[in-house]
Structure 1
């Protein structure tokens, strides 16, 4: 086998053998300066960057070694290269693109920039998103309406019983001249306890905002309330107090349907702490339900139990018990000791019911407003989409007519 029939072992499979008359690829001259990065790494001016290992220093050849003999190459055989000699030399992509001749338009308008086609598509996506939001808000409105009807029935049906029980306790305490630890002021050195009733979920309009603003106003005006124990019902109030660096001593989870057993257990703990002298006052901040269109934040003093303010002279005489005589069985102190804890528990349970009803009606109103706004936004987007589509059709017709006229 002759040397000219041998193929270099480093030639990739599939490439034809190099031609003898093919030009060699350009290489950097030794006298040409080499660009270097700040960290000292070499940088090539064209082609793909390739780091080569440093050349090792070989010892000088000894006498008679193979390195003394000159390298004998077969006649007519070119120097081996990593890339085929017939291939195009390496050039930057930008340089190759600039050297390429521009394509001539084969039809009118082919060389012009394309029209912005994404406007109508973007409007269509926004219309779809607004429609999905509208369906979600309508569903939430229907759920809040159903829950509001059930909660309103529980709150309204329990209100006459609570008012009658509360009025009877006031008449017994005022008319009979009876006293009870739950009706007297607590110790001066004891702490104050404030219970804030908020919601676990949002999307209920200004419900949580009004409650939190009322609680923060109370804490700013009375430093004893801020320094005392603060208990929260609901995650929204808890997160707000943590953000305002207000320490929360306890967090209660009641849910959308408060049970009397849970509220009774909470009220009994407050009564025990008040009678033992640990706290001197217990207040509840909640949203009072007046009607479907009116709710307002209320500050209720639970302990010591105080009668509600009289509206006129007749109500004042009735609340004081003047001219009314009762024949009590059992005696007044025993009856008052049974009625007072029941009245406090019932009053706290009524506050929880009012808070739940107010939350549902606030969410119902907020979701109805969101549904209406989504409908208005959908109509506006539909008009904008129709205008953009009409403008697009007009532009296409103009281009077709112009092209036909140019061909004539």
Structure 2
């Protein structure tokens, strides 16, 4: 019984140490989530403004149609997917949700040669490579609060691949942050640009802007920047969802550890009580034998 008591006590100490670690990780994730949510709000200010400028400049194109390659729909021979996952685990079902959604899309709509994956995050990269899937580019080691400079190269490369017709449409697949407990899988089309609505434009239909150097040159620079900013916004959103998932996972782990400690403590007390009862019984039996 002494061995059993020591084993239970060792399990209690070990579980307590684990709960301390998960509790600390929960606090770290909560801090990261707060900063990431603020970064997402700050980005929305910029995203709203660049969307408004783009819509105003494209007012007539949205009304009458456009031949701009960033806007025009062409026959789809190949589709590009930017898939955003984390670089490590301990984030609950964050990665499994997006990877399952991506696999469902590929199985339903694609064969081996008509899609390309641009992977952001080590978990997704390893997952796709292990299955021999088409990973054109990958980015690992993303910061907790990624700057545009860190992700700019892979974003601009994705846009250039579309402009070079290496694929004919581009989607971003990620977990959208709803709140600290909830995220939603999003598969959002980035190219060709199709989410601009003429009703959002504040420019009158008869507007005749004077532009330097000219409208076409401005759009040639603006439309790729608009797309790149939307992709960056999705990355910021996904990182926010990742921090929320990590916080929730660590809170759940801490709660489970506390439940295990309570159960082990009850077992320990029962075993200790049984050992004491056994010792008393043996003492009484020995005393009776001497009479």
- 1:334 pairs with one of 206, 211, 217: 217
Q: Indicate which of 10, 14, 18 corresponds to 1:125.
A: 10
Separation in 2 of the partners of 1:137 and 1:391?
33
Check 1:247–1:338 CA distance in 2 against 1; reply closer, same or farther (3 A cut): closer
Shift of 1:388: 0.8
Given that residues 219 and 226 in structure 1 are in contact (C-alpha distance below 8 angstroms), is that contact kept between their aligned partners in structure 2?
no
Q: Which range moves more in the overlay, 397-406 or 256-265?
A: 256-265
Partner of 1:271: 159
Residue 239 of structure 1: aligned partner: 126
* Matched ranges for 1:27-66 at <5 A: none
When normalised by structure 1's length, the TM-score is: 0.65
Larger Rg: 1
The aligned counterpart of 1:249 is 136
Unaligned runs of 5+ in 2: none
* 2:182 is aligned with 1:294: yes
Report Cα offsets for 1:41-91 as digits up to 9, x if no partner.
xxxxxxxxxxxxxxxxxxxxxxxxxxxxxxxxxxxxxxxxxxxxxxxxxxx
* Separation (CA, whole Å) in 1 of partners of 2:113 and 2:202: 37
Alpha-carbon separation, structure 2, partners of 1:360 and 1:199: 10
Task: Give the alignment of 1:6-17 within 5 angstroms.
Answer: none
Which one of 313, 327, 343 corresponds to residue 226 of structure 2?
343
* SS across alignment from 1:249: strand
Task: Determine if the alignment matches structure 1 residue 146 to structure 2 residue 31.
Answer: yes
Aligned pairs for 1:97-116 (under 5 A) are 116=1
Cα distance between partner residues in 2 of 1:259 and 1:395: 66
Give 1:274 shift.
1.9
1:2-401 aligned at under 5 Å gives the runs 116-176=1-61, 177=64, 179-186=67-74, 188-189=76-77, 191-223=78-110, 227-253=114-140, 254-307=142-195, 318-319=199-200, 324-330=205-211, 331-401=214-284
Q: Give RMSD over aligned pairs.
A: 2.2
**Secondary structure of 2:218 counterpart:** helix
- How far is 1:300 from its partner? 1.5
User: Secondary structure of the residue that 1:123 maps to in structure 2?
Assistant: helix
1:338-359 Cα offsets, whole Å, 9 max, x none, are: 3212211111110110111100
Equivalent position SS for 1:279: coil
Are the counterparts in 1 of residues 52 and 201 from structure 2 also a CA contact under 8 Å? no
Total equivalences in the alignment: 285
* 1:188–1:117 distance in 2 versus 1, CA, 3 Å: closer
Q: How far 1:187 moved relative to its partner?
A: 5.4
State the match for 1:85 in structure 2. none
Verify the 8 A CA contact 2:122 2:139 in the aligned structure 1: no
Gap change, CA 1:249 and 1:332, over 3 Å in 2: closer
Shift of 1:139: 0.8
Give the direction of change, closer, same or farther, for the CA distance of 1:225–1:163 in structure 2 (3 Å limit).
Answer: farther
C-alpha separation in 2, matches of 1:237 and 1:131: 33
The Cα shift of 1:158 comes to 0.6
Give the C-alpha shift of residue 270 in structure 1.
Answer: 2.2
Q: For each residue in 1:237-256, what CA deviation from the matched residue of structure 2 results, as whole angstroms up to 9, or x when unmatched?
A: 12222343423232212332
Residue aligned with 1:297, SS: strand
Q: Offset of 1:374 from its aligned partner?
A: 0.9
| Cα drift, residue 321 of structure 1 | 6.9
Are 2:263 and 1:405 equivalent residues in the alignment? no
TM-score, normalising length: structure 2: 0.89
Residue pair 2:128, 2:135 contacting (<8 A) in 1 also: yes
Question: How big is the shift at 1:213?
Answer: 0.9
